[in-house]
Amino acid sequence: MDSQDKVQAFFSAEGSLAKIIDGYLPRVAQTEMAAAVAQSIDDNEHLIVEAGTGTGKTFAYLVPAILSGKKVIVSTGTKNLQDQLFNKDVPLLRKAIGKPFAAALLKGRANYLCTYRLELAIHSNLGFSRVDASDLAKIKKWSKSTRTGDVADMHEVMESNPIWAQATSTRENCLGQECPEYDKCFLMKARKKAQEANLIVVNHHLLCADWSIRETGFGELLPNAEVVIIDEAHQLADVASNFLGISLGSKQLSDLSKDSLQEFFKDAADMPDLRAASENLEHEIKDMRLAFGLDMTRGDWKDIENNPKLMDGLARLQEHLDDLADQLEIASVRSKGLESCFKRAEALEEQFKLIMQDKSGKWVRWYETHRKSFTFSLTPLDIASEFRSFMTQHSASWVFTSATLSVDHKFDHFSRNLGISKAKSYRWDSPFDFPKQSLFYHPKGLPQPNSPDFVAEIVKVAIPVINASKGRTFFLFTSHRALQAAAKILDKQIKYPLLVQGDKPKAILLDDFKQKGNAVLLGTSSFWEGIDVRGDALSTVIIDKLPFSSPGDPVLKARLDAMEKQGRKPFMEYQLPTAVIALRQGIGRLIRDVNDRGVLLLCDPRLLKKSYGHMFLNSVPAMRRTRDIADVEAFFTEEEK
């Protein structure tokens, strides 16, 4: 029996899955996708697969990959998906397959407890607040019982708590084999297990770190892989672009300053110039942030070059970094910790010079400020040639899959972004009955998106839909400003619980939304994808605008300018397809199960009034469409019968 026959038998009504899943029914699209993946693995070819929600694509790629017996890497878009795949899907398939195979979960180093850093923090002279000290004590207690050191397994201290920075390592501050705790290192144990496994589950950030060989001891996974499967593949180009660039931030500089000060107290207390250099750099970092003003911005490097105050601040920042590097060089013979700090300072000096002096034209230079921090970045204009050469260096079969890879049923945009020239491609639509399960409402008389009263007007349109739905709504926005404006209006005009992104952590907001059962959740980009709310709690998705990226974004602007110089059409080739895929992701929140029902309200009149509107309409599910609120009310009345 060849591999495709084995796969088809596995998914059949009498197959291995049917024996362990109650009520299992074969899905044609899932079986066909699994057969296509099996063939690509057999033929050592690349494959691009779009599989709509409900296809069961996870099993469709995992089963042929595991049955092949080859060394397989599966990369997911987020750590949550990674955990779900490894902790839920893989054990079920292990039971179904009935043959042993070694699987490993591998995350980035910031996800693993570093016992050396934890001890440093606990015995630090720098001191911590009472709350932070309590949290460190909890982590210390947990460190004695954990087997994996995975931060996600520690429930008493939230993963998002900044105190974890004191108990985990970074690429810069890791001592590697010189670390006294190296033999107990959770990260090293996880990497060793991954190298010995048949199936390794990673995420895109880790995959790209491996590709760019940015971490000491990394770059070992991909050369041994025979099959690489990229799930949520629509996210890969953006993640890869970030990893292939250079980013220098206030956090890296501040961490160096604090770690140098800690090492000073431990091994160089007779070197007051080292302490002064560490403290001076920390002060200059804060002054640099203040020089940018209070606003959180993302801008072109020319904004800095045209601002003497910022240029002076950069010069002082660079000078203080150089001073600290000089002091660390003198002190580096004292201990491995001081030697490590010196090497970090040298690396940061080099990055600083590259960012300050770049004139190559191959990079976009830009900056970003957050509430208390800032970053300076070099981002590649184009990663297609890099990724193409990377794929050709390895003989692995690559499988790219997602629910949203095509635009108007074509894969040109996705393939072009990653430089994929030789790959078979297939599409399988969602098996859900969209004409029966959903309604697409696009009312008449909508204001233009650039209208000053746009938000107020679309909220007026949205309220009758929210009322008809009895809450149970995701209201998705393309900007935080619009979200906040809508929140103020809705707070006074609806009777349902209002949940607003930013008020609480994302996971808690989602839990609240599901438990209340009649809430209205307002969210921006992070709620457009990767969110799975099944059942009655979510019955309406409202989208404010077609999700075109901001033309003021420095990276986007530079890429569009470069395309224009090449004689290409940036709007049709890049902006439009990117927006179509983002819209498809947002719409994908609505129908997540065969029993789900729901209404989509899209508040952008450009959908019908602009010539490109058909590209969006041709790329969304085959929903019933209406322009009459009475049809929306009737839809929900039917639900009650």
pLDDT in tens, 550-608: 888 898 998 888 888 889 999 999 999 999 999 999 999 999 999 999 999 999 999 99
Can you say whether the dihedral through the CA atoms of 469, 471, 474, 476 is positive or negative?
positive
What is the radius of gyration, based on Cα positions, of the chain?
A: 26
Helix (H, G, I), strand (E, B) or coil at 439: strand
User: Reduced to 3 states, what is the DSSP secondary structure of residue 246?
Assistant: strand
Distance CA 374, CA 292 (A): 9
- Within a domain: 178: no
The pLDDT of residue 607 is 94
**68 in a structural domain:** yes
Point out the least confidently predicted range of 113-117, 214-218, 452-456.
Answer: 214-218
Q: What is the pLDDT, as a whole number, of residue 537?
A: 93
Q: Which residues contact 351 (CB under 8 A, 6 or more apart)?
A: 246, 248
Which candidate, 636, 454, 604, places its Cα nearest to that of 536?
Answer: 636
Give Dmax (Cα) for the chain. 81
Residue 177 lies inside a defined structural domain of this protein: no
Sheet holding 374-380, edge to edge: 246-249, 374-380, 363-369, 298-300
Q: Are 317 and 214 in the same domain?
A: no
Highest mean pLDDT among 42-46, 381-385, 418-422: 42-46
CA 300 and chain centroid, separation: 23
Check which CATH number belongs to the domain holding 487 and give it. Answer: 3.40.50.300
- pLDDT attached to residue 222: 67
pLDDT above 50 (res 162): yes
Q: Looking at the structure, do residues 357 and 287 belong to the same domain, yes or no?
A: yes
Same domain for 200 and 159, yes or no, is: no
Paired residues of 521 in beta bridges = 474, 499
Domain boundary among 351, 380, 409: 380
pLDDT at 640: 64
Q: Cβ distance 13 to 365 under 8 Å? A: no
Q: What is the CATH number of the domain that holds 267?
A: 1.20.120
pLDDT at 416 over 80: yes
Do 417 and 300 share a structural domain? Answer: no
Both 222 and 274 in a single domain? no
pLDDT value, residue 5: 82
* Residue 164 in this model has a pLDDT that exceeds 90: yes
Residues 441 and 524 reside in one and the same domain: yes
Domain assignment present for 176: no
DSSP category for residue 398: E
Do 389 and 309 belong to one domain?
A: no
Q: Which pLDDT score is estimated for 460?
A: 96
Q: Using DSSP, state whether 363 is helix, strand or coil.
A: strand
Q: What is the mean pLDDT of the chain?
A: 91
526 and 607 belong to one structural domain:
yes
State yes or no: pLDDT of 512 exceeds 90: yes
Task: Give the span between the Cα atoms of 166 and 95, in whole angstroms.
Answer: 39
Range of the domain at 23: 3-108+188-243+384-428
Residues contacting residue 290 through CB under 8 Å, at least 6 positions apart = none
pLDDT beyond 50 at 211: yes
Q: Any idea which of 140-144, 221-225, 468-472 has the lowest mean pLDDT?
A: 221-225
Q: Is 217 left (phi over 0), alpha (psi -120 to 50) or beta?
A: left
| Rounded Cα distance, 21 and 92, in Å | 9
Q: Return the ∠ at Cα 89 (arms to 86 and 94), rounded to 5°.
A: 95
Task: Write b or e for each residue in 491-505: b if 16 or more Cβ atoms lie within 10 A of its Cβ, otherwise e.
Answer: eeebebebbbbeeee
List pLDDT tens digits, range 421-456: 889 999 999 999 999 999 999 999 999 999 999 999
Q: What is the pLDDT of residues 523-560, one digit of tens each?
A: 998 899 888 899 999 999 999 999 999 888 898 998 88
Domain boundary, last residue among 372, 397, 428? 428
Strand partners, 300: 366
The answer on pLDDT for 217 being more than 60 is: no
Nearest C-alpha neighbor of 623 from the set 440, 407, 430, 428? 440
Nearest to 476 by CA among 601, 627, 625: 601
Per-residue DSSP letter, 107: -
The answer on 227 and 98 residing in a single domain is: yes
For residues 364 and 558, give the distance between their C-alpha atoms in angstroms, rounded to a whole number: 6
For residue 155, pLDDT over 80 is answered with yes
Place of tokens 């199936």: 199
- Six-digit token pair at 187? 């990260």
Output 5 or 257, whichever has higher pLDDT: 257
Please give the tally of structural domains in the chain.
Answer: 4
Do residues 324 and 397 both lie within one domain?
Answer: no
pLDDT at 591: 94
How far is Cα 207 from Cα 373, in angstroms, rounded to an integer?
27
**pLDDT value at 413 more than 60:** yes
Question: Has residue 87 been placed in a domain?
Answer: yes
Q: Is residue 259 part of a domain?
A: yes
Which segments of 419-463 are extended strands (E)? 424-428, 438-441
Amino acid at 431: P
- The pLDDT assigned to 218 comes to 42
Q: How confident is the model at residue 214 (pLDDT cuts 50, 70, 90)?
A: very low
Nearest-10 Cα torsion for 90, 93, 94, 98 = -170
Average pLDDT over residues 69-93: 92
Smallest Cα–Cα separation from 207: which of 230, 183, 191, 232?
230
Place 392 in a pLDDT band, splitting at 50, 70 and 90: confident
Among 361, 380, 399, where does a domain finish?
A: 380
Question: Is 209 in the same domain as 101?
Answer: yes
Q: What per-residue confidence (pLDDT) applies to 223?
A: 66
* Whether 477 and 621 share a structural domain: yes
pLDDT surpasses 90 at 243: no
In a domain, 95, yes or no: yes
Residue-wise pLDDT tens digits, 354-390: 999 887 778 899 999 998 999 999 998 888 988 888 7
Per DSSP bridges, beta strands 72-76 and 598-602 are unpaired
Q: What is the pLDDT of residues 19-31, one digit of tens each?
A: 998 888 899 999 9
Q: Residue 215: what pLDDT?
A: 42
Percent of the chain whose predicted confidence (pLDDT) is above 90: 73
**Quick one: pLDDT at residue 422?**
86
Taking only the tens place, the pLDDT of each residue in 121-154 is 888 877 788 999 999 999 999 999 999 999 989 9
Q: Does a structural domain hold residue 175?
A: no
User: What tokens appear for 540 in the block?
Assistant: 């309406």
Comparing 628 with 561, the larger pLDDT belongs to: 628
Which pLDDT does position 359 carry in this prediction? 79
pLDDT at 287 over 60: yes
